[in-house]
C-alpha cells in the first residue's frame, strides 16, 4: 500500500489537543483532569486546588529539568498514560525562561528578565516542546488563565500566554475552550466570538454547561469525565467524517459515470433529473452541475432556464 492515501482512506487522528482558559477559580484544572488516564504537569500548584477525589498522577514542577525527566519516565515506564496536561502554559514559559538564564546568563537583562535574544530562544524552545507533545501519541490539554486585550473598539478575552507563544500554540490545536460562569452555571465555549478566542474543529456545541462535580460545600458529587466524553465525541466525529468522505467519493464516481454515458439531449435531461433526486454530499451538486454543463457543451447543447432542460445550442 502506498504512502499517499485518498481522502476516504485517511485514518482518524485518534488523539486530541486542547487549550482550556478562563476566569480564576472556574475549575480549569479540574476539567482538564477529566481527560482519559492523565498525568498533570503542575507548574503553578494547581493540583492543590483540586478536590481530592479528582486529583490525578502529578509532576510537581520545580525546574525545567523536571519536565524532561518526567516526560522520559512516562515514555519509558507508563504506557497507560493517555493524556498530558500542562497547567499552566503561561507559567511553563516562566520555567523555560529560568532554564535559559541558568544555562546562559548572557540571555538575562539587568532587570532579571530575558533579553531579546533570550525571548527568541524561548520561542523556539516552546515550539519544540509543543511538537514533542504533538508526536507523543497522547491527548494534550493546555490550561491557561485569561487576559483582556483591546481589539479595535472592543475588548476581547484571550489566553494569557506570553508574547507570540499563544499564536504558536493555538494553530496546532484541535479545540480552544473558554470557560466562564453564566449566573451560577459554569460553561465552556468552543466557537469564537467577538468577545473571546475559541476554536472548534469537531462541531461541538457553541456553548456547553459543565457538569457539577463539586458542590458548594466542597464535596465531590459527580464523576469528573467531561473531557473523556469530549475525546469520544471527537473520535466519533472523525470516523463519521471519514465515512462521509468515502460516500462522497463513491457518489462522485457514480455521477461521473452517468455523465460520461450522455450522448444527446434526451440522455442529458435524464441525468439532470436523476441529479435532482440524489441526496448530495458536500459540494457534489455543484460539481455535478458543472460536469453536466461541460458535457452538454461538448455535445452541442445548453441548459435552458425557461424550460429547465438541455436544448440544442
Per residue in 59-82, pLDDT (tens digit) is 999 999 999 999 999 999 999 999
Per residue in 207-243, pLDDT (tens digit) is 999 988 888 888 888 889 999 999 999 999 988 988 9
Mean of pLDDT over the chain: 91
Kindly report the CATH number assigned to the domain that includes residue 68: 3.40.50.300
In a domain, 89, yes or no: yes
* Total of domains in the chain: 2
Q: 78 and 121: one domain? A: yes
Q: 288 and 182: one domain? A: no
Q: 40 and 114: one domain? A: yes
Report the pLDDT value the prediction gives residue 1, as an integer from 0 to 100: 55
- Residue pointed to by grid coordinates 530575558: 114
- Residue pointed to by grid coordinates 491527548: 139
**The pTM is what?**
0.87
- Residue pointed to by grid coordinates 483532569: 33
Per residue in 86-113, pLDDT (tens digit) is 998 999 999 999 999 999 999 998 888 8
- State how far the Cα of 130 lies from the Cα of 3, in Å rounded to an integer: 25
**Beta strand extents in 23-174 (DSSP E only):** 38-42, 58-60, 83-87, 139-151, 154-159
Residues 6 or more apart whose CB falls under 8 angstroms from that of 187 comprise 179, 180, 181, 207, 208, 209, 210
| 297 grid coordinates | 457543451
Asked whether the beta carbons of 285 and 275 are under 8 A apart, the reply is yes
Chain-centroid distance of CA 260 in Å reads: 41
Q: 16 and 88: one domain? A: yes
Q: 196 and 287: one domain? A: no
Residues 6 or more apart whose CB falls under 8 angstroms from that of 99 comprise 63, 64, 65
What range defines the domain where residue 274 resides? 241-312
Amino acid at each position: 500500500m502506498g504512502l499517499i492515501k485518498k481522502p476516504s482512506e485517511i485514518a482518524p487522528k485518534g488523539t486530541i489537543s486542547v487549550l482550556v482558559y478562563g476566569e480564576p477559580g472556574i475549575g480549569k484544572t479540574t476539567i482538564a483532569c477529566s481527560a482519559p488516564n492523565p498525568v498533570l504537569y503542575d507548574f503553578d500548584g494547581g493540583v492543590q486546588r483540586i478536590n481530592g477525589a479528582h486529583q490525578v498522577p502529578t509532576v510537581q514542577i520545580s525546574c525545567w529539568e523536571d519536565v524532561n525527566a518526567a516526560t522520559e519516565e512516562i515514555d519509558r515506564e507508563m504506557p497507560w498514560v493517555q493524556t498530558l496536561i500542562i497547567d499552566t502554559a503561561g507559567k511553563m514559559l516562566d520555567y523555560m525562561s529560568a532554564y535559559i538564564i541558568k544555562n546562559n546568563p548572557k540571555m538575562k537583562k539587568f532587570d532579571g528578565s530575558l533579553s531579546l535574544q533570550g525571548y527568541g530562544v524561548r520561542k523556539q524552545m516552546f515550539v519544540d516542546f509543543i511538537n514533542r507533545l504533538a508526536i507523543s501519541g497522547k491527548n494534550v490539554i493546555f490550561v491557561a488563565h485569561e487576559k483582556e486585550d483591546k481589539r479595535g473598539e472592543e475588548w476581547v478575552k484571550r489566553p494569557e500566554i506570553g508574547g507570540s507563544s499563544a499564536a504558536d500554540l493555538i494553530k496546532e490545536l484541535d479545540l480552544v475552550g473558554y470557560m466562564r460562569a453564566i449566573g451560577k452555571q459554569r460553561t465552556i465555549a468552543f466557537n469564537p466570538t467577538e468577545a473571546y478566542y475559541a476554536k472548534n474543529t469537531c462541531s461541538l456545541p457553541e456553548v456547553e454547561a459543565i457538569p457539577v462535580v463539586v458542590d458548594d460545600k466542597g464535596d465531590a458529587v459527580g464523576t469528573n469525565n467531561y473531557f473523556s466524553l469530549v475525546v469520544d465525541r471527537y473520535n466519533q466525529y472523525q470516523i463519521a467524517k471519514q465515512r462521509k468522505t468515502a460516500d462522497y467519493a463513491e457518489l462522485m464516481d457514480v455521477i461521473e459515470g452517468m455523465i460520461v454515458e450522455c450522448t444527446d439531449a434526451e440522455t442529458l435531461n435524464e441525468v439532470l433529473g436523476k441529479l435532482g433526486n440524489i441526496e448530495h454530499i458536500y459540494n457534489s451538486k455543484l460539481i455535478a452541475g458543472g460536469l453536466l454543463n461541460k458535457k452538454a457543451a461538448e455535445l452541442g447543447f445548453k441548459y435552458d432556464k425557461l424550460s429547465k432542460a438541455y436544448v440544442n445550442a
